[in-house]
Chains A and B, each alone.
Chain A
């Protein structure tokens, strides 16, 4: 093959390769203050997303939703850490692309708890198709013992998975 032609082909291949992003999660920048943000470990067509909490402080309950594009991504398993203490009731509810997370202390008598910074929940997903899509953290709130709402900043991300 002509060296010049080979060079062009290699450059072209390189360009094409640059147009197909590598699997991974590009997390949105987290804002200051109490909030949730996303981390992820991606392995080809699988990802383990973790929802991290920061500066939430004492809470009676937490609630947030992770929204994915369920045409492109399927939920494998949602799980939560016991950040609300012993006796808390937790919910991980999958409804299409909406995954509800959170929980509550069992009663006012049980009081509130201090929520430590760190992992709150994990969401294992797999690709239905190779693509890049948004993962949103929505409707993130904490509640005090008196029932008042404390809005939580929430930063999602952009997830790229390979085709299965």
Chain B
């Protein structure tokens, strides 16, 4: 089966397209796009892109690429004319680059696109595949029918090369990887910046926009540059740049250094398909994310997208199934870990809880799918719930089990596997190699089966904690017990399906099961209303609820409603005065 780049193609809706194409016999031929040197002119009324690529090809005189964003005006292979032909099944979404007489071996492909770009997404007419306005020129990573460089349909195919970007002189710009190697004004009213593509990738963006640039330097010297568009509020963007300067050194210390010392935050207007998109060192954010209503989103979103510099950038998934998990869940996990470790643990707790609660409250159990379910991409709503929300918490679960440092060591080793190197098997192998033991059972229960465990808890007078697990799980359950003398004991229970026990020695006044949300689960008291889980209903239960009054199931994805279903005793989606009744009755 032909792998894809799960962060790009399935999210563009091409999930069905890619496997279908994989079955085409012509794809038995080996095709490898080795280098692409791109000259992109965003300065005029029309888009012009010159592609000079080296392609190793073996056994066929053609190969399929994503359909192009503008008309091809020149095309040669090894200096001889070649052609582009629409695919018989997918039309202009996929085109075959044909040079039947070019033979095997490296092809020198010279292709020029010139004209008004067709920025309307071919996959979703409500979205833009690019932006071409006076003040803003943006080319997003290629999607079928809107590609601006060669994107091999038949295989995950990262390449190196360069991008030379021509813009108006007064526009900020970013492309490729890192800061421009050269930046010059040839005197014709344009500005030429030359960017490297030294790290193999197949996911590129080109961005130019007028606005005011803000630069923040991280503690390790890496620069974070954000350009606030004219009319945009610079405050949230500056705050975001500062936050990225905070988490970036943490990312680099955990997962390995970026091969460049400048990253960019790039606002994108129009019908941008996502709140954000993370390329290697370039974070694209929808303009709307700077609006006050989305203040909750901008920093966490940028941290997630920056995480894609490693998960999808320096390393990417080689498997189609699970590809979303290996990039999106890892980026999300990394974001909250870095925000927490460079900010406050409560910030991380809120993020992990938000993800767990969104999955728990928004998933229809009858429609739920395993994270590694082969049909997951066909169910986009479920895909988002299980990949981003459940999946990121599953990684938190593994961290809790094997230890924070061991897990970081395993993740760094995953990144070192590079493009196409991420897989669930690699995760198992690297955790074991780091000394975290065998997580095969964890993979089975969290990734290969849908759902989550339900925990029921109580304590008897002697301090024996009883925890019943509903569901086929083997769990490492953190338990915190607080006693009336002020003593606090942290322990953990290795629990499995059915009844489990943990001796606390004496009766506590408060038991917290998995207090840091290390897993997707529900916790229910054995005695209804006993939210303090100490086996009796008393004023501590009232206080536990009162301290959380105001929490509610968030209305929007990624909002933290400070909601924990344990304290919503009447299950109406809000922690309020109505929840005291279960204690008092």
Contacts and interface: CB of A to CB of B under 8 A. Distances in A.
Do A and B actually bind?
A: yes
Interface of A: 60-65, 89-91, 93, 95, 98, 100-109, 138-141, 143, 147, 149-151
B538 A91 contact: yes
B542 A139 contact: no
Given A60-B546, A61-B546, A141 B538 contact: no
A7 B434 CA distance: 91
B536 A98 contact: yes
B559 interface: no
Please name the 4 residue pairs, one residue from A and one from B, whose CB atoms are nearest each other, closest first: A102-B539, A63-B539, A100-B538, A107-B549
A91 B537 contact: yes
Given A60-B543, A61-B543, A91-B542, A149 B536 contact: no
B484 A104 contact: no
B484 A61 contact: no
A137 to B, nearest CB: 10
Interface in B510-542: 510, 536-540, 542
Contact of A108 (B507, B549, B583, B584): B549
A139 B536 CA distance: 12
Contacts of A91: 537-539, 542, 583-584
A139 B509 contact: yes
Nearest to B546: A104
Interface in B538-566: 538-540, 542-543, 545-547, 549-550
Given A139-B509, A140-B484, A141-B484, A100 B539 contact: yes
Contacts of A101: 539
A107 B550 contact: yes
Contact of A103 (B482, B536, B542, B549): B542
The range of chain B's interface size is 20 to 34
A147 B537 contact: no
Contacts of A60: 543, 546-547
Given A91-B584, A106-B577, A138-B484, A143 B543 contact: yes
Contacts of A138: 484
Nearest to B541: A91
A139 B537 contact: no
Contact of A63 (B538, B547, B584): B538
Contacts of A140: 484
B485 interface: yes
Given A149-B486, A149-B509, A151-B486, A100 B536 contact: yes
Contact of B584 (A89, A95, A151): A89
B251 interface: no
B261 to A, nearest CB: 41
Contacts of A95: 536
Contacts of B510: 149
